[in-house]
Amino acid sequence: MKGLMVRSFFWGATLFQMLVCLAGAQVKDEVFAQYRSEVDKAVERGLEFLAGRQQPEGHFNDQYGKSSGIAGLVGMAFLSKGHLPGSGVYGETLNRSVDFVLGSQQKNGLLDRNDSGHGPMYSHNIGTLFLSECSGMVDPARQDRIEDALARATQLLLRAQAVPKDANNAGGWRYKPEATDSDLSCSGWALMALRSAKLNGAPVPDEAIAKAVKYVFSKHDSRMGRFGYTNTESHAETLTGCGLLCLELCGYHGHESTYKAGEFILNTHAKIPQSGHELYGNYYNAQGMFQLGGKYWRKYAEWMYGHYLARQKADGSWQGRDGGTTYGTAMVILSLAVPYRQLPIYQRDETVDETP
C-alpha cells in the first residue's frame, strides 16, 4: 500500500471533511434539526467522558478496553464529530487511539494484542477501519506507520476470506483469521474495512468485495426483508441493519432488498433494547436507515433520539446490555452522530430522496 496513499492526501482529507460538513449542513433533515441541540450537547458530553477515561497508552480500563477494537470505536466516535488527530482539543486523544491500534499489530498483520481471545477478528476489522478512516489526517510519521499497518492488515483480511469454506460460509469472516465458518456481524465489519481501504487506494480486488456481498445476500430472507447471523433469521432484529448497511455501501441503494430491509427494521426496532446485542443493532440500523433516507431515516431517527438521549447518564456515558461503558458510549455516539456525516466510509449519495 505504500505509495498508493499519496502524502498530499493529508490536505485533501482535511478539505474533504470541511466540504462534507458544509454539504451536510445543506441537507434538509427535519428530524435531526429538531434534535440537533440535544444531540450536540449529548455527543460532546459523551466525548468528554471517553477522553477522561482514556489511559496514557490509549486503552481503557473497562470491558474489552485493552483491545484495538475498542480503541478504534472510540477513535471513530471522535472523528464522527469532526475532530482530527493531532489538532484541537481532542487531537492528542485521537493520536493515542491511533498509536494504540498501531502498537497492537502482530507479525502476521493481525491488529489485536492477544489472538487467543474469543474474537480477535472483530478487533482487527474495527482497527483496520479506524486506521483507514484516519489515513491522510495524521502527521507524516504516523502516516508512514498507518500505510505499513494497513497494507498488512488488508492482506490478512483477504487471506482470511480466502480460507476454503463451504457454500454457506464462503466470502465471509469469523472470529479468527483461520476460521472455516463465517457470520454476518464479523463479516459486516470486515467488509466495511475493505471498502474503506479500497477507497483509500489499497489494492483490494473487486472480486473480494463481490464475494463478501454474495455472502451478505446469502443471509437475506428476501420475502421477510431480514438478514440473519449465520442463516436468514437468527438475530434478525439486530443484524438486518448490518446487511442493509453493507449493501448500501457497496452500491445497492434502490435495490428491492434494501427497502424490504428498511421495512423490517421499522416493524421490529422497538425490540432492540431487550436484545443482548442492543447497541450494535442500533448502530447498524442508524447507519443503514440514514443511507436509505426518506421515511426510513425519519421514523427510525425519531425513535432513536427519543430513546437514547434520555438514557445518557450524568457522567456523559451510555451502557447497553452488550459491552462496557466505553463501548456503549462510543457506539451510541456513532449512532447519534450519523447526520454529521464526517466519516468518509459512511458518506451518503446526494441523490438519496429526503421525502417520504
Q: How far is CA 269 from CA 178, 278, 285, 318, in A?
A: 34, 10, 8, 19
Mean pLDDT confidence for 71-93: 97
Average pLDDT for 153-157 = 98
| Over residues 57-71, mean pLDDT | 93
Write the pLDDT tens digit of every residue in 96-110: 999 999 999 999 999
What confidence tier does 118 reach under pLDDT thresholds 50, 70, 90? low
Task: Judge whether 257 and 271 are in contact, CB under 8 Å.
Answer: no
Among candidate residues 262, 240, 244, 148, the one with its CA nearest the CA of residue 192? 244
Question: What pTM does this model have?
Answer: 0.91
Over 60: is that where the pLDDT of 207 sits? yes
CA distance 105 to 113: 7
Q: pLDDT tens digits, residue range 293-341? A: 999 999 999 999 999 999 999 999 999 888 899 999 999 999 999 999 9
Q: How confident is the model at residue 353 (pLDDT cuts 50, 70, 90)?
A: low
Q: How far apart are the first and last CA of the chain?
A: 43
Residue 131 has pLDDT above 70, yes or no: yes
SS3 label, residue 84:
strand
Which CATH number, 3.90.120.10, 3.40.1180.10, 1.50.10.20, 1.10.3860.10, labels domain 9-346?
1.50.10.20
* pLDDT band per the 50, 70, 90 thresholds, residue 350: low
Above 80 in pLDDT, residue 8? no
Cβ count within 10 A of residue 273: 15
Q: Read off the pLDDT of each residue in 237-242 and give the average, rounded to a whole number.
A: 97
DSSP state of 311: G
Measured from the Cβ of residue 256, the count of other Cβ atoms closer than 10 Å reads: 10
For cell 461503558, the residue is 325
Torsion angles phi and psi, residue 46, rounded to 5: -65, -40
Per-residue pLDDT at 11? 34
Q: How far apart are CA 291 and CA 254, in angstroms?
A: 10
Q: What share of the chain is helix, strand, coil (3-state, %, to 5)?
A: 60, 0, 35
Average pLDDT over residues 178-190: 97
- 248 pLDDT higher than 80: yes
Closest CA to 191 of 167, 229, 157: 157
- What is the structure's pLDDT at 16? 42
